[in-house]
Structure 1
């Protein structure tokens, strides 16, 4: 029998297998991080849209009828306000004094016109009939 000297280290095949496994794991990790960052950006954008819609709706309700029903803010957001009579769930003695109106604001980003955020609120207004 021939005695061969023992060599320490890894064979080429073992090294290539370890490299392939590391590359697959790295690609999976990059995909997860990319998806997470994209999801965070979407959530941040939706939060900003909702906050802007809330601000426009509050301003419209408080300053009614001075705020225009359509507008644009800093070339970023466009809004449209729609009013319609609200459904009455109960009848009370004050129904003749107030009208219930559903106010909806639809906010759209200028760079993303297909994604819109709509916020609705029911408000009571004094009846115009006295």
Structure 2
């Protein structure tokens, strides 16, 4: 069964009429396990759903405030009639950002930068570099 067939094996739709897709994680886990069996590697493959690993530390008060402000600004933008925008902070000002501009070029993180190391320290993540 190919990837597309696996995702679309159910013809169910949600309340908005969008197709309900199958869990790709389970499919990938099965494919990886079968691949390693074929090359005679006897190791147990563990699949950890990445949605449970969004953060390495608990949200603090600053995170809660930031999320509240971003959410409120998103609602204000929607009520103002904007679409295709996201909210953010630029030079300490709350701004609306057009999504096509935000995703036009990929953002790269320098794994040797000071800011990345600050992020690792604050979240308690290991430095694999």
Q: TM-score, normalised by structure 2?
A: 0.23
Q: TM-score, normalised by structure 1?
A: 0.23
Higher strand share: 1
Higher helix share: 2
The structure whose Rg is larger is: 1
